[in-house]
Amino acid sequence: MPFIEELIAKSERLGVEVTVGLGGAVIVDAGVKARGSYEAGRLVTLACMGGLGEASISTRSFNGHILPAITVETSHPVESLLASQFAGWRIKTEDYFAMGSGPARALSLDPKELYDEIGYRDQSEKAVLVLESSKPPTTQALKYIAEKCKVNLKNLYVVVAKTSSIVGSVQISGRIVETGLHRLKTLGLNPKSVVHGVGCAPIAPLHPDDLKAMGRTNDVITYAGEVFFTVDMEEDEKLIDLVKKAPSSCSKDYGQPFYEVFKAADYDFYKVDPGFFAPAVITVNNLRRGTTYSAGEFNWSVLRQSLQYTRFKPWT
């Protein structure tokens, strides 16, 4: 809530627009019609993590090319990343669809099997949800979200931004650590063995087309995202096997921009190799053994193609 309150209090400076919908539900347009800002994107990233992480924005040199970048860290990885930031809630009504993330997910328990696996439950009179969509939530969608979270509409706060907005681009890159943890979990790592996580990814330059913008926001993680985890595990051999399999370069779809991969898959996410959705480089330190293992590679060639990045040589 403190991050939502800051967005509301500084709405004009941060480039967001606040409206009140059905029953007093608060809607923060951070990137549908609103222009947004990098700082708004940072605050939305922190809200997505349920307040259990930190995020900072700077610039980094990628193969000698400067791009904005976000660094995210958490010492509460299960709660902040899996129980909150993971975009696992499909908001679907007759007149609206969006993917939802943020702490309200832990009230709706969606997907329930994940919350059962990590053994997490939450209680709150207020609900904060972040939607990736090119449209603000409808009255029917707001009612559905409030009912699922078991809160009054006046205590519902929804932030919405489309992929092709600056806030959309920032908050998706801000999922770099969550993406790495989700990949390791899928391969068999017990997420509760993870003690700390930190990661950095470029923030994708904007594209007016939502589909191509989605391709870019995936590519900055797949081809240039880096994560570092500290884990507490007895078996080093199992950890070595997991790290070797985790980076995006292990995917059969690796090697071309996501937009091209998606198009070849008939724009069906389920036809894309899940291993593609992983950081470029994954490093894991086992504090019980004192060992550190790393795998993956940075790929500027594909990223440059995705971002349509042209660098001119200086006049001589």
The per-residue pLDDT for range 278-304, each reduced to its tens digit, is: 999 999 999 999 999 999 999 999 999
Q: Residue type for 281, please?
A: V
- Is position 189 within any domain? yes
Residue 316 pLDDT > 60, yes or no? no
Counted domains in the chain: 1
For residue 137, whether the previous peptide bond is cis, meaning omega lies within 30 degrees of 0, is: no
Q: Per-residue pLDDT tens for 194-215?
A: 999 999 999 999 999 999 999 9
Distance CA 8, CA 19 (A): 10
Alpha carbons 179 and 182: distance in angstroms, whole number? 5
Among residues 155, 159, 235, which one has the least CA distance to residue 193? Answer: 235
Query: Sign of the C-alpha dihedral, residues 117, 120, 125, 127?
Result: negative
C-alpha 140 chain-centroid distance: 26
Residue 315 confidence (pLDDT): 64
Q: What is the pLDDT of residues 104-117, one digit of tens each?
A: 999 999 999 999 99
Residue whose C-alpha is closest to residue 258's, from 234, 236, 275, 282: 275
**Residue 215 structural domain:** 2-307
Query: Which pLDDT tens digit goes with each residue over 129-172?
Result: 999 999 999 999 999 999 999 999 999 999 999 999 999 999 99
Can you give the pLDDT at residue 63? 84
Name 25's Cβ contacts closer than 8 Å, sequence gap at least 6.
142, 146, 153, 154, 156, 157, 158
Return the DSSP state at 209.
Answer: S
Please calculate the CA angle 102-108-114 and round it to the nearest 5 degrees.
80
- Residue 314 within a domain: no
Block residue for tokens 């880096």? 226
Residue 257 covered by a domain: yes
CATH number of the domain residue 93 falls in: 3.30.1030.10
Of 248, 249, 233, the C-alpha closest to 284 is 233
Query: Which one-letter amino acid corresponds to residue 159?
Result: V
Beta-sheet pairing, 26-31 with 156-161: parallel
pLDDT for residue 239 = 96
**Is the overall model pTM greater than 0.85, yes or no?**
yes
Residue 296 lies in a domain: yes
Distances (CA, A) of 21 to 56, 137, 167: 31, 9, 21
